[in-house]
């Protein structure tokens, strides 16, 4: 099901992919500390990264 956020941007849909063990561990720790699921923590991280990219915060 596709939905839109308040900003009119489509929300992420479920996708399966592999991540390395170190990223998995960091994501798990961040999720536990934030009291959210790993999926939600990943979603928030990607959304923050995308927002930063849109504002010109691209890495060199």
For residue 55, pLDDT over 80 is answered with: yes
Indicate the domain borders of the chain.
Answer: 21-54
pLDDT, tens only, 16-33: 778 899 999 999 999 999
Q: Which pLDDT score is estimated for 16?
A: 77
Nearest alpha-carbon partner for 38 in 25, 47, 48, 51: 25
> How much is the pTM?
0.61
* Contact of 51 with 45, CB cutoff 8 Å: no
* Contact of 41 with 27, CB cutoff 8 Å: yes
Query: With the CA atoms of 10, 11, 13 and 14 taken in that order, what torsion angle do they form, in degrees rounded to the nearest 10?
Result: 170
* Contact of 11 with 2, CB cutoff 8 Å: yes
């Amino acid at each position: 099901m596709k939905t839109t956020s308040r900003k009119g941007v489509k929300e992420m849909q479920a996708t399966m992919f592999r991540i390395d063990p170190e990223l998995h561990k960091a994501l798990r720790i961040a999720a536990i500390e934030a009291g959210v699921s790993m999926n939600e923590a990943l979603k928030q991280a990607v959304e923050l990264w995308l927002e930063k990219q849109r504002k010109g915060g691209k890495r060199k």
